[in-house]
Amino acid sequence: MKAKPRSLLAIESLDSRQILDILALARRMNPARPRTTLRGRRIALLFYENSTRTRTSFEIAAKSLGASTVVIHATTASIEKGESLKDTGRTLQSIVDAIVMRHPSSGAPMLLSRLIEIPIINAGDGMHAHPSQGLLDAFTILNHKKSLKGLKIVTIGDIFHSRVARSDAHLFSKLGARVVFCGPDVLLPNTATELAPGVEIVRDMETALKGADVVMMLRVQQERLQGMQINVDEYIRRYQLTASRLKLAKKDAIVMHPGPMIRGMEMTDEVADCKQSVVLEQVLNGVKVRMAILQTILGGRR
């Protein structure tokens, strides 16, 4: 097992034991019963992209552990005046203990981690990674399944642009799941090896869904379909999750979506609100998992 991670930049840097330790710690977390384990710590939420849910989730998680937070939006910071990422990071390093960072450029959190000494937690960078989402997705699955080993997890939608899909694929594969990606050619990478080891690509939705234990739907931005070989109506006809298509999966399959979900696009209202849907549960689990991440990274650090 590796030592406790200094930062959380991507799932690839964690081994299976570290992942399971974070998930086990998350099970002991309860935002309704605050802890004081990070009292006196200061955490900067540095967001170059808007993300109300992820930012709020990290903020509640930090405060539930006794830490204080400062929210920094790129639109209001001196970044607009030309301040570099390096300058921003070094300034924050002198006043906070860790940075939770979202950035539109892939690799930006990793770059910053090489320039400063305090921990960096990646809250999403470009099309690269979203490790905390991957962890909370695994946590949610384990609320309903005994183990990820041997599960067939099918992800459908805009795979090419999805940092969530990439983080999920690495994590699920490390824990022994069979990962299947499905979507139109224009929204899929050229080969599965561009995603994570062992990932399968299946282009027909009905084929992909057969025997699935977990169905993860991804958001498809309609503007990305403009000018492509598939339009919105065609996408809905071929890739929307309907009640009849869900029956191709196992009877106890769960339906997930990292959000924001577009009802009537990725899935019907009937599926979004059915008993197999755990979409709301994913949101609620976000705080617990992010509490565990912060505790793992900052616990014992001074």
Q: Kindly state whether residue 137 falls inside one of the protein's structural domains.
A: no
Number of domains in the chain: 2
Q: How confident is the model at residue 30 (pLDDT cuts 50, 70, 90)?
A: very high
**Residues 22 and 63 occupy one common structural domain:** yes
pTM over 0.85: yes
**Residues 125 and 18 occupy one common structural domain:** yes
User: At residue 19, does pLDDT exceed 70?
Assistant: yes
Q: Which has more pLDDT, 30 or 73?
A: 30
The CATH number of the domain holding residue 181 is 3.40.50.1370
The pLDDT score that the predictor gives to residue 302 is 44
Q: What is the mean pLDDT of residues 254-270?
A: 93
**Residues 66 and 46 occupy one common structural domain:** yes
Q: Kindly state whether residue 293 falls inside one of the protein's structural domains.
A: yes
**Residues 93 and 56 occupy one common structural domain:** yes
Q: What is the 3-state secondary structure (H, E, C) of the chain?
A: CCCCCCCECCHHHCCHHHHHHHHHHHHCCCCCCCCCCCCCCEEEEEECCCCHHHHHHHHHHHHHCCCEEEEEECCCCHHHHCCCHHHHHHHHHCCCCEEEEEECCCCHHHHHHHHCCCCEEEEEECCCECHHHHHHHHHHHHCCCCCCCCCEEEEECCCCCCHHHHHHHHHHHHCCCEEEEECCHHHCCCCHHHCCCCCEECCCHHHHHCCCCEEEECCCCHHHHCCCCCCHHHHHHHHCECHHHHCCCCCCCEEECCCCCCECCCECHHHHCCCCECHHHHHHHHHHHHHHHHHHHHCCCC
Mean pLDDT rounded to a whole number for the chain: 91
Show the domain range for 41. Answer: 11-130+285-298
Q: How confident is the model at residue 79 (pLDDT cuts 50, 70, 90)?
A: low
**Residues 172 and 220 occupy one common structural domain:** yes
Render pLDDT for 155-171 as a digit per residue (tens, 0 to 9).
Answer: 999 998 899 999 999 99
**Residues 150 and 212 occupy one common structural domain:** yes
Q: Which has more pLDDT, 257 or 78?
A: 257
